[in-house]
């Protein structure tokens, strides 16, 4: 039997301490891959390892990461594949992976359902005026605060990857009109009533009651939502960003809100994270959540299931699920 590749688990233990316990204890990975040698590097650098563990670093072919460890290339000279828990890969030096012939997979889609639920919760919170109703209850004040219907709204989903596809699926019972904005208008867009390219986004925003952004961070999306984009949106539009904070010019967003043009906004991501305490976003009308629209237990279960499935594909010499073309 061929020797199985050694796996180094390098994400922070605090991300999910239940999924990979100490090597001597039960865990999803060790139970699913009992014959694979596993080097536990959660919250540890090479200098923290014992002599026997350091001797095994040269055998590591697979690294399971969250953030990119600064030691990874030096510590694992025979590394062949990196799996990142994150959806994006802007934190990964793709040129270096290409040079070293290292494959890359990511966690795209593993948190889509819970993030989509969060998006819909924010939309309903806004349209149904739930904060106002809660404030009136605290004041013991009976005053009708009627919301508006979500049905028949025009919703524009910018970026049509797993998150916004799941938003579309969950919105189907509300009988909304959905426009998908993506790189190719010819690509299949399940759940969308129409599809336009990014070059046509400004025109699509004109009728939008809600805009949901779920785009990756790259040169094309940085500053995508600026003063011109917000001005193009229908007056009273509600804006949600669950993709990357770099897509939004936050000063332009706040200006559009303060002018009364936008009806509201919710950000689960910001251009700087953690958001500094003195950032003016905190004191604006923006609904802010600290990059927490996913549900950790469900997401990590899917992350591990994806990784375990991919280990089997890797051992079989097959193409990996969620493999990034680098």
**The pLDDT value given to residue 11:** 79
Q: Quick check: 250 and 270 in contact, CB under 8 A?
A: yes
- E strands in the chain: 6-9, 38-40, 60-65, 81-84, 103-105, 154-158, 177-182, 194-197, 210-213, 238-241, 264-267, 287-288
Q: Is 267 helix (H, G, I), strand (E, B) or coil?
A: strand
pLDDT for 25 equals 38
DSSP-derived secondary structure for 51-109? HHHHHTGGGEEEEEESS--TTHHHH-TT--EEEESSS--TTS-HHHHHHHT-EEE--TT
Stated length of the chain: 326
Q: Which positions are catalytic?
A: 244, 273, 291
Strand arrangement, sheet containing 194-197: 194-197, 177-182, 154-158, 210-213, 238-241, 264-267, 287-288
Same fold for the domain at 6-110+296-315 and the one at 112-288? Answer: yes
Domain ranges of the chain: 6-110+296-315, 112-288
The confidence band for 12, taking pLDDT boundaries of 50, 70 and 90, is: confident
The gap from C-alpha 169 to its chain's centroid, in whole angstroms, comes to 17
CB 61 within 8 A of CB 79: yes
Per-residue model confidence (pLDDT) at position 22: 45
Residue 13 reports pLDDT greater than 90:
no
Q: Residue 243 in contact with residue 214, Cβ under 8 Å?
A: yes
Question: Which of 85, 53, 56, 51 has the alpha carbon at shortest distance from 69?
Answer: 85
**pLDDT given at position 3:** 81
Give the CATH number of domain 112-288.
Answer: 3.40.50.720
| CB neighbourhood size of 19 (10 A) | 18
What's the topology of domain 6-110+296-315?
Rossmann fold (3.40.50)
Nearest alpha carbon to residue 182 among 154, 208, 209, 163: 163
pLDDT band at 24 (very low <50, low <70, confident <90, very high): very low
Tens-place pLDDT, residues 212-250? 999 999 999 999 999 999 999 999 999 999 999 999 999
């Amino acid at each position: 039997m061929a020797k199985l590749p050694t796996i180094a688990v390098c994400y922070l233990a605090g991300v999910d301490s239940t999924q990979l316990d100490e090597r001597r204890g039960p865990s999803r990975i060790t139970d699913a891959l009992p014959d694979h040698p596993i080097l536990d590097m959660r919250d540890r650098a090479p200098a923290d390892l014992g002599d026997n563990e350091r001797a095994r670093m040269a055998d590591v072919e697979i690294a399971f990461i969250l953030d990119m460890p600064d030691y990874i290339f030096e510590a694992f000279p025979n590394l062949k594949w990196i799996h990142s828990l994150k959806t994006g890969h802007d934190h990964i030096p793709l040129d270096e992976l290409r040079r070293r012939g290292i494959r890359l997979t990511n966690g795209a889609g593993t948190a889509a359902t819970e993030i989509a639920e969060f998006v819909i919760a924010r939309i309903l919170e806004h349209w149904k005026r739930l904060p106002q109703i809660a404030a009136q209850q605290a004041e013991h004040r009976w005053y009708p605060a009627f919301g508006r219907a979500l049905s028949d709204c025009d919703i524009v989903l910018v970026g049509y990857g797993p998150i916004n596809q799941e938003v579309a699926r969950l919105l189907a019972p509300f009988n909304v009109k959905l426009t998908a904005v993506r790189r190719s208008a010819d690509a299949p867009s399940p759940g969308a009533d129409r599809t336009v390219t990014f070059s046509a986004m400004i025109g699509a925003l004109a009728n939008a009651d809600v805009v949901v952004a779920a785009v990756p961070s790259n040169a094309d999306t940085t500053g995508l939502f600026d003063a011109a984009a917000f001005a193009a949106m229908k007056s009273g539009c509600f804006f949600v960003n669950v993709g990357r904070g770099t897509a939004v010019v936050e000063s332009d967003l706040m200006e559009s809100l303060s002018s009364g043009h936008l009806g509201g906004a919710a950000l689960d991501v910001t251009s700087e994270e953690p958001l500094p305490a003195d950032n003016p976003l905190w004191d604006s009308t923006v609904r802010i959540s600290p990059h927490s629209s996913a549900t950790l237990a469900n997401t990590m279960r899917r992350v591990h299931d994806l990784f375990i499935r991919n280990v089997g594909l890797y051992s079989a010499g097959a193409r990996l699920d969620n493999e990034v073309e680098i």
